[in-house]
Amino acid sequence: MNRIVAVNIGNTNTTAALMAGGRVARRVVVPTRGATAALAGRALAKLRPGPAAGAVVASVVPRAGRAWRRALAAAGLAPVVGVRHDLDLGIRLDYPRPETLGADRLANLAGVAGLRGRAVIVIDAGTATTIDAVTAEGVFIGGAIAPGPAMMLDYLADRTARLPRLAMRPVRGPVGRSTGEAMRLAADAGYAGMIRGIAGRMVSDRRLRGALLVATGGAAALVRRAIPSARVDRDLTFRGMVSILRAGPRG
C-alpha cells in the first residue's frame, strides 16, 4: 500500500494529498464550502493518484465528507476509510465521549503515536485551533479548542459596523498605525498569548511535564513564533491518516 490518497476536510479548505512512502507527493487545496462529488472528482483528477491502493478521509464537515467519499469511490479507490474514534489510532483515548472528537484531532493523535516515551502536545492551528495532550505512555487525556488567528479578525468584522474584513498578516512595530494594523496587532499578539497560556497550563499537569510541542495546520508558523521550541510538522495529519488506514480496524 505505497500510494494512498488522504483527504483532510476542514471548515475552510479541503486538502487532498497523494501519499507515497509516507510522504506527501502531491497536494491539491480547494474550498470546502459548496463541495460536491463532481467538484471533488475534478480536484482528484488534478492530484493524479494513479493506481493508489486506497483512500482515507478526515472530515469535520459531514456534507463535504460524503461528497468526497462518493468521488473517491467513483475514481475506483478502495477501500475508502473515514477516520473514526473506534479505529486503531495507536493511541489510547482516556476521554469520556470519544465519539465527539473531530476526525482531524484523531488523525493528529495517530500522527504522534510513534513518539512514546515523552509527552506530546499537538497544536493544530487552522480556522479553529485544537490543542491535544498525549502522555508519555501514549494516552490522550484531553485538550482545548480555541479560535484560529483569522477567526479573531473575522469576529471583529462580523460584530461591528465599520471594522474591515482582513487577512492575517504580521505587523511590524509595537503599535498599530492604522485601523487594519491595530486589528492585526491585537490578533497576532492575542493569539500568541492565548497559545502560550493554554500550553503553559497543560504542562503544569505532572503527566505532561517536559512535553514536546508539535505545531501543524495553516497557521503553524504563528504557533512557532509564539513558542519557539515548538516543532512544526506540516504533514502530521496526513501521516496519521495513512497510519489509520494501514492499521485497519482495532483488534
Q: Which residues are catalytic?
A: 104
d(CA 152, CA 181): 14
- List the Cα angle 123/248/12 in 5-degree steps: 35
- List the Cα angle 33/15/87 in 5-degree steps: 100
- Could you tell me how far CA 170 lies from the centroid of its own chain? 22
d(CA 128, CA 162): 24
d(CA 159, CA 155): 6
**What are the cell numbers at 130?**
485544537
d(CA 113, CA 239): 11
**What are the cell numbers at 75?**
475514481
**What are the cell numbers at 206?**
505532572
d(CA 106, CA 110): 6
